[in-house]
Amino acid sequence: MSIKIMMPALSPTMTEASIVKWTVKEGDIIQPGMIIAEIETDKAIMEFESTYEGEVYKILFPSGSGHIKVGEVIAILKEEDDTEDDLLPYIPNAVKQESNSMNHNNFDELNNNYIKNDLISNNSQENKDINRLNILIDSNQLLSDQKRIIASPLAKKIALQHNIDISKISGSGPNSRIIKDDVIRKINNKSDSTSDNIFIESCKIKEQDRLLEIENSKLNLDNANISIKNTNTLTNKSISQFIPEKNNFYEELPISGMRKTIASRLTESKRNIPHFYLTVSCNVDSLIKLREEVNISIGNMIKNNRINLENNRNNNQNIKISINDFIIKAIAKSSDLIPETKTIWVDDDKMMRFTDGIDIAVAVSIPNGLVTPIVRKANQKSILNISTEVKELAEKAKIGRLHLQDLTGGAITISNLGMYGIDQFSAIINPPHSSIISIGSIKKQPVVINDDIIICSIMNITISCDHRVIDGTIAAKFINYIKDMIENPIELLI
């Protein structure tokens, strides 16, 4: 049977994406692990690897298509024994009649009939809860999929040889596809039929519960949507009165998927997360001196071939450790001492604490937005390794080659605007993280030390915390640990 390729969730916050380009065409044979498309998510442009094997029968969204929901079918794969008649039920009527250049607007109505349940109206998409409901609706496809027999040719052949009713077998492959191992297990264990019946009955009960929940949610959403539509109408009217009629003095700009996500996520963060802020000033004279010494030592080690650069992708002979690299290490070591800083808020019922190393997200500016790739287990890495990894992640971000594993994890973000001359700022927490640390510029200032006025290099650090997870005293202890390590940086080398 044919295989449906769906829009994957390539980042933790992704709800929709655009297909930048397909790297395969209809008729091509693909294998698991093959790059088949480039997808623009809310974070970056990422490569989409196939987990299936087969022939690309139909591409439902051409290159350049945008606003495709996670879980929507974007292509159909054909297997060896599939016929045109077998594949027709998988292709929506509008796609059968349209060419491959159809745009996404023409596909919207079709997709509502093909994937979504009639219980959800088009207007409900205006509400932020629609994503949760869509997941519930898509999960109901499980029962209808039970009616189809999706099996590999080899599995069908073995079942036929042993007079096994393949429709009674539960598949363990992608999309519940029946594979060879499933048939062999059925042959070895005849009792599977009983468990299959129990599973089907269980699914029926779950379907009834889901449908009831969707009906109740629909009633709540209908009322909420009325309020939202009225609010949006008033907001748009109040803004539009200040916008002049179209002329030569301004241009309208499209909003990218990444910019929409930044707007949505940070608005949600400020609205739902109770932020509080703490600031300390650090004397970084010792850190600046240590950095200079470390960079000189690294340069000498490179000249004398006493450092291995094989794992450094850039193989850069002019490696320089930055102040930011030391700060990342200081944050990671400090967080390791305070369990609350390794914790994130999941929902009203639970929090989650990371126990295997300290992962630090580093804010990286790219031409069309901002991404936060993760430095894994920064508390366990040397300053040189942290520096190399940050540079590699930044380079991958700028060319749009970050992967999902580069963007997920951790509870702390670091954002540094010091290189832009910003003295101090309070950043917005990046969900689901529980804190973000803002680094300002280094400036010479008079400081009183032992009743003497001394000119020192001062850098301000501000931490923004989620008060649901971190209390004020905990945050104060955390930021002072960071301050102590920055002012006594030899600890960072131990």
pLDDT at 16 (0 to 100):
84
Q: Quick check: bond before 432 cis, omega within 30?
A: yes
pLDDT in tens, 217-235: 666 665 555 555 555 444 5
pLDDT, position 142:
41
What is the three-class DSSP state of 164?
A: coil
Residue 221 in tokens = 């959403």
Main-chain phi, psi angles of 29, to 5 degrees: -95, 125
Q: Is 387 left (phi over 0), alpha (psi -120 to 50) or beta?
A: alpha
pLDDT tens, residue by residue, 421-433: 999 999 999 999 9
DSSP state of 116: S
CA distances from 155 to 46, 87, 89, 171 (A): 34, 19, 22, 10
> What average pLDDT does this structure show over 396-408?
85
Q: For residue 305, what pLDDT band results from cuts at 50, 70 and 90?
A: confident
What Å distances lie between residue 468 and 91, 343, 346, 351, 402, CA to CA? 48, 10, 11, 10, 31
Give the C-alpha separation, 407 to 43, whole Å.
Answer: 8
- Residue 85: predicted pLDDT: 65
Q: What is the mean pLDDT of residues 133-162?
A: 59
What does the mean pLDDT of the chain come to?
A: 79
Which of 74-83, 199-208, 209-218, 434-443 has the lowest average pLDDT? 199-208
pLDDT band at 473 (very low <50, low <70, confident <90, very high): very high
- Map tokens 């699914």 to a residue: 203
The reported pLDDT for the residue numbered 434 is: 96
What pLDDT sits at residue 207? 64
Tell me how crowded residue 191 is: count the other CB atoms within 10 A of its CB.
Answer: 8
Q: What is the mean pLDDT of residues 185-194?
A: 64
130: which residues sit within 8 A by CB, 6+ positions away? 120, 124, 221
Q: What torsion, rounded to 10 degrees, do the Cα atoms 278, 284, 288, 294 define?
A: -70
pLDDT digits (tens, 9 = 90+) for 319-375: 899 999 999 999 999 999 999 999 999 888 899 998 888 999 999 998 878 889 999
pLDDT at residue 436, as a whole number: 98
Write the pLDDT tens digit of every residue in 100-112.
Answer: 444 444 434 434 4
DSSP 323-378: HHHHHHHHHHHHHHT-GGGGEEEEETTEEEE--SS--EEE-EEETTEEE--EETTG
- What pLDDT score was predicted for residue 122? 42
Q: pLDDT of 236-273, one tens digit each? A: 555 556 666 666 677 788 887 778 888 888 999 999 99
Q: In this structure, are strands 412-416 and 435-449 parallel, antiparallel, or unpaired?
A: parallel
Active site residues: 467
Report the candidate in 361, 273, 261, 271 with the shortest Cα–Cα distance to residue 14. 261
Q: What is the DSSP letter of 124?
A: G
Structure-block tokens of residue 41: 């998510």
- Those residues whose C-beta lies under 8 Å from the C-beta of residue 88, and which sit 6 or more positions away, are 96
pLDDT recorded at residue 402: 84
* Residue 429 to residue 441: CA distance in whole angstroms: 20
Q: Rounded to two decimals, what is the model's pTM?
A: 0.63
Tell me the mean pLDDT in the region 158-187.
79
* 79 vs 230: CA distance, rounded Å: 50
> What DSSP assignment string belongs to 375-394?
ETTGGGS-HHHHHHHHHHHH
pLDDT value of position 188: 75
